[in-house]
Amino acid sequence: MSAPSTTPRPAAANSVWPQLEPLLPQVTKPIQYVGGELGAVVKDWDAATVRWALMYPDAYEVGLPNQGVQILYEVLNELPDVLAERTYAVWPDLEKLMRAHGVPQFTVDAHRSVRDFDVFGVSFSTELGYTNLLTAIDLAGIPLLAADRTDADPVILAGGHAAFNPEPIADFVDAAVLGDGEEAVLEITTIVRQWKAEGSPGGRDELLLRLARTESVYVPRFYDVDYLPDGRIQRVVPNRADVPFRVHKRTTMDLDAWPYPKKPLVPLAETVHERYAVEIFRGCTRGCRFCQAGMITRPVRERSITTVGQMVRDGLEFSGFHEVGLLSLSSADHSEIGDMCSGLAQQYEGTNVSLSLPSTRVDAFNIDLAQELSRNGRRTGLTFAPEGGSERIRKVINKMVSKEDLIRTVVTAYTNGWRQVKLYFMCGLPTETDDDVLEIADMAHEVIKAGRAATGSKDIRCTVSIGGFVPKPHTPFQWAPMERPEVIDHRLKILKQAINSDRSLGRAIGYRYHDGEPSLIEGLLSRGDRRVGAVIRKVWENGGRFDGWSEHFSYQRWVDAAAEALPTFGVDLDWYTTRERDELEVLPWDHLDSGLDKDWLWQDWQDSLSEYEQDDCRWTPCFDCGVCPSMDTEIQIGPTGRKLLPLTPVNGLKVPTGAQQ
């Protein structure tokens, strides 16, 4: 592992390409390390005052399409004196060669060493990327522990949904940003620019202090954690007078003012998504109790239909993509989704451009939407997420969808030409029983029978996909116990048997699942505190890499590391995962403010145990979750009453001339 270094960052960073290029013929998919994609930016190092390296801690094929990194990359590079480049996790075959030949973690844009940058920003959408972070830090020649870093090292900044509880990686990151990044990275850039212009007074400590004083950047080194004899947290308090007791999330309120990405990256290698993605709104008030994304991104903020139209036009013309993904947590909930889809479908009719809604609620999908999405004859996949198999468990999780709703929706899809739909469920939910899970099989059978009856064809299928439930911070289920992996695996086994109990129906139903072991480890990381950092480090030292990939994940490696590291603190793996928390327990993230009132979250947890359903506050009176008063704002919804404009040809392709009206 790397030793602390005080060598200053260079005035001009040299490319490591001459050392890297000879290694690439020896690795799989070498093109993922080459860079030069359409949309990529390479700027003059010497002309930049502030330099960012941005990372999604997974392989290129997963990281490149990530919307958050693409947006920040573009926002930063639009500033004349700022430079931003991208880096991704390298596969173990290249890691081994890089270590042998002394090649550091590099950016794909100009192949510069990550250590040469001012800020190393890492966006986490899942906690299973933590070991990849350690690999990148170590390969870059940066000390693994934040406490060992000097002025010569970049500030390592965590963001993304997992940053709402950064405590498990508090030893390894210098700071974390909660919430939206567009305005946050500009504020951080301004602070770094000013600090450097003044001659970097006070060194690294002063820079981190200036960031902490914003009250929206969390710097773990400025907070001490005290523990009770039974292992619970007693308190988390600042260790200096000039940092805030609570750190608040950032929220970008006017999405129309941030129409990014304008120039999407077009990958050279195959990636998990190859489409132009437009986020049509941010936030969700459906109140699904398991959903961290829906809770922490409140309030709802819609992007206007005119801005969406303009973004689609410009993005397709720049990129050449043939699919437009209208993204959000529940895309069909946009107040103008009907006009949006019909307008786009009409404008691109006769072209090879298709529309998709990657996240569609069962009760928001209708025949008009189905027809618009399939107007060009190309039908992208449809995924519906009932989440729970029984009516009872759906009340517990506040997923207000009936079996009749689901069957009616899927039949609508089948009768409009779709032959394949995917149904997503979770296993291991609070209060769940075997019977709740077995009702998934009944639902899948009913879907196939109804689809065959409606279409007169047996050529229809559905895929049942099962994920393990993981309690997340800042949700009503943050107090809930997890189910043990052997219980999850038992339920998955009997569910498969139930699906196949009717051979005629079973052969039309695909079955995909994630077993209980990775979910338990994700649960350890999602609700862990600083003591879990010792487990992460030990797993990484023992070879842990790409833990989000089943072929690389080792449950035993995590269990062994936890058994070795945690007893020192008087706790164990079960203490973090299968234990139910009580109302007054100090949770590791309580000093990090998502805007949600903890008392409201607790009451919603009690409501779930009573199987009480909570309404969507977009259409009903406020139920005091705390977000709008704490942010001095309110939910933003349309409709605006505007439409998209007609088409005119551009470069021989029919696309809209603009979306303003």
The pLDDT of residue 654 is above 50: no
Contacts of 137 by beta carbon, 8 Å cutoff, 6+ apart = 105, 143, 144, 156, 172
Residue range 594-613, pLDDT digits in tens: 999 999 999 999 999 999 99
pLDDT of res. 374: 76
* Contact between 20 and 33 (Cβ < 8 Å): yes
Give the least confident one: 130-144, 495-509, 595-609, 611-625. Answer: 611-625
For strands 281-282 and 276-279, give the pairing.
Answer: unpaired
Mean pLDDT, all residues of the chain: 91
pLDDT of res. 147: 98
The pLDDT of residue 375 is above 80: no
pLDDT range class, residue 658, cuts 50, 70, 90: very low
- Relative orientation angle of helices 182-197 and 203-212, to the nearest 10 degrees: 140
Handedness of CA 37, 38, 44, 48 (dihedral sign): negative
The pLDDT of residue 311 is above 50: yes
The pLDDT of residue 340 is above 90: yes
Phi/psi at 276 (5° precision): -90, 120
pLDDT range class, residue 623, cuts 50, 70, 90: confident
The pLDDT of residue 647 is above 70: no
Average pLDDT, integer, range 264-270: 92
pLDDT of res. 377: 64
pLDDT of res. 646: 45
The larger pLDDT score, comparing residue 87 to residue 384, is at 87
pLDDT of res. 596: 94
Find how far residue 463's CA is from the centre of its chain.
Answer: 23
pLDDT of res. 212: 98
Residue range 345-369, pLDDT digits in tens: 988 988 889 888 876 777 777 777 8
Closest CA to 253 of 309, 307, 305, 182: 182
Q: With pLDDT > 70 as the criterion, what percentage of the chain qualifies?
A: 92
pLDDT of res. 332: 86
The pLDDT of residue 400 is above 90: no
The pLDDT of residue 642 is above 70: no
pLDDT range class, residue 480, cuts 50, 70, 90: very high
Cα dihedral 372/373/378/383 (nearest 10):
-160
Average pLDDT, integer, range 201-220: 97
Q: How far apart are CA 538 and CA 526, in angstroms?
A: 17
Q: How far apart are CA 292 and CA 162, in angstroms?
A: 9
Residue range 448-458, pLDDT digits in tens: 999 999 999 99
